[in-house]
């Protein structure tokens, strides 16, 4: 999947600036799904505009820099629909911690536990973020199909983070007890 389809999906909901995309969506509401930095967003907006999938309207602001407001074109809607109907292959999982563990046999258990505890703290933050997004969805509560599908997605993200945390707790406990299984 590419960032282009995420941006098309967001712009299909409403026209936005690159700044709006970054602050309202990529830093908040969909950070648990698809992180993107400002440079990636603006590069993708430029490519989408060149492809004719989005249009840009410049809003002149006398006291501030002009705003570029992007909206989806008919061609962009068609591309998004084709993508929504296409099968998505399994994602490639690149987890640095798992690679570290794969090669960590010569580290003392205490050092491995430290790595796991650091990951545990980061995963707790990720879980808290997902739970905050879920809470916003519940309080927004229109019960629309869109809200229902978003709730399903954030529930998956919550379960994914909780599963990772459970696994970390198990690994930490085993390493601390010097379990022969590791």
Fold of 3-84: Arc Repressor Mutant, subunit A (1.10.10)
Q: What is the pLDDT of residue 91?
A: 86
Q: What is the pLDDT of residue 1?
A: 56
Q: What is the pLDDT of residue 181?
A: 47
Q: Which residues contact 48 (CB under 8 A, 6 or more apart)?
A: 4, 7, 8, 54, 70, 76
Q: What is the pLDDT of residue 141?
A: 64
One digit per residue, pLDDT tens: the chain, 182 residues? Answer: 589 999 999 999 999 999 999 998 988 888 888 889 999 999 999 999 999 999 999 999 999 999 999 999 999 999 999 999 999 999 888 999 999 999 999 999 999 999 999 999 999 999 999 999 898 887 876 678 888 898 899 999 999 999 999 999 999 999 999 854 44
């Amino acid at each position: 999947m590419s960032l282009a389809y995420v941006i098309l999906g967001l712009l299909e909901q409403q026209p936005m600036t690159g700044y709006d995309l970054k602050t309202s969506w990529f830093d908040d509401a969909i950070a648990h799904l698809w992180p993107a930095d400002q440079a990636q967003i603006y590069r993708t907006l430029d490519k989408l505009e060149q492809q004719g999938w989005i249009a840009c309207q410049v809003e002149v602001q006398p006291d501030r820099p002009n705003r570029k407001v992007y909206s989806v074109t008919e061609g962009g809607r068609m591309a998004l629909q084709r993508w929504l109907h296409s099968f998505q292959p399994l994602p490639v999982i690149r987890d640095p911690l798992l690679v570290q563990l794969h090669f960590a046999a010569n580290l003392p258990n205490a050092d491995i536990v430290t790595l796991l505890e650091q990951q545990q703290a980061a995963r707790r933050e990720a879980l808290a973020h997902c739970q905050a997004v879920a809470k916003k969805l519940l309080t927004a509560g229109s019960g629309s199909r869109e809200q229902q599908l978003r709730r399903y997605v954030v529930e998956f993200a919550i379960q994914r983070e909780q599963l990772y945390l459970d696994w970390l707790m198990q690994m930490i406990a085993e390493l601390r007890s010097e379990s022969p299984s590791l």
